[in-house]
Amino acid sequence: MAAEDTASTRLGAGRQHLRPLKRRGLVLLRLTAIVLAVLLFCEFLIYYLVIFRCSWPAVKTPADAGGLGTPEPVLRAMFLADTHLLGAVRGHWLDKLRREWQMERAFQTALWLLQPEVVFILGDVFDEGKWSSSQAWADDVGRFWKIFRHPPHVQLRAVAGNHDIGFHYQMNTYKIKRFEKVFNPERLFSWKGINFVMVNSVALEGDGCDICSGAEAELLEISHRLNCSRKEHRPQECGDRQRLPASAPILLQHFPLYRRNDANCSGEDAAPPDEKYTPFKERYDALSQEASRKLLWWLRPRLVLSGHTHSACEVLHGAGVLEVSVPSFSWRNRNNPSFIMGSVTPTEYALAKCYLPCEDTVLTTYCTAAGGLVLLTLGHAGLVASPFHFGWNMLRKFKTT
């Protein structure tokens, strides 16, 4: 009997010893589940929840107006700007990891949910292209194609920005050629009867340099071809080159056309109040007045899209030509990045803005979750009352009073 009592006593003691271990394991499991759930929400699900609200804008076609004939094809185009992939000099590894992951998840989610046919990046694709070495450039390009990978049926095109090839005084033929080796060098891109003209706005300095003269000559040739496409009877001077679609072009560039400042820009992603009234420097913050007049006169665009300012703006030029400045796509430049969705036909277009998750929202979620985990841990350790018991006690006191 004594032996049996001793054995049962030892067994009971062993069970009592195991109970705290089981309780700790259960708490650890709960904490791990909470951490994984928060990570899943902040790094994956939030992009689907936010971008799912975006939809392609409806564009008017002749069929909508009761017209006869074949309906005009609609091209779904995404326009984003100023991705600024960090380089080897200024790019801290943590900054690269955080902001590039944000852009990758945003872009891949948008591709999957919205299924655009073409994506345009309006300059400053890279942050250090203006001074990066050949090896650093190759590394940056490799990371770019990982972030912005896309299926073969989706086209991706980009125009050069000042961070890609440098401002006018830093720009040279080598930097331009290596950028064009990555992205198609065509200045004129036509698809579904729609003409896009992609301009190297850094080269529109107007000082007669070799690169600038070549850029202007190329734009004059495009202007000539566009003018020929607008004429019903092909004149002799138009030659035998393939005729372009008879559609007013959409102008894509990095620098915005000349404007004094962002004072007339509005919206939640416009420039902050302390920057709105800062005068723009010609050839630095925007194109010069002369270059802007030339582009509008030579190309006669129906729509202009630009980047560079990192903020949103809509401006009417000349005879009512709309210019849309596209905000930055990266958290590094904005708390609330976005991109433009365009439904485009040869004669009409409709634009809509799609916002990405705000960085503040993600950080607040992480901070709230971290605070909750600390309280749960302290409550389990008995250092503070657990939130459940604290709330129950408060409810009982409230009822008794």
Question: Tens of pLDDT along 113-123?
Answer: 999 999 999 99
Q: What band does 67 get if pLDDT is binned at 50, 70 and 90?
A: low
Q: What band does 364 get if pLDDT is binned at 50, 70 and 90?
A: very high
The C-alpha atoms of residue 281 and residue 83 are separated, in whole angstroms, by 23
pTM: 0.87
Higher-pLDDT residue of 149, 228: 149
DSSP per residue, 107-145: HHHHHHHH--SEEEE-S--BSSTTT--HHHHHHHHHHHH
Q: What band does 90 get if pLDDT is binned at 50, 70 and 90?
A: confident
Q: Produce one character per residue of 157-185: b if its CB has 16 or more CB atoms within 10 Å, e if not.
A: bbbbbbbbbbebeebeeebbebbeebbee
| Residue in the block written with tokens 């928060």 | 38
Residue 182 confidence (pLDDT) above 90: yes
As beta bridge partners, residue 77 has: 118, 342
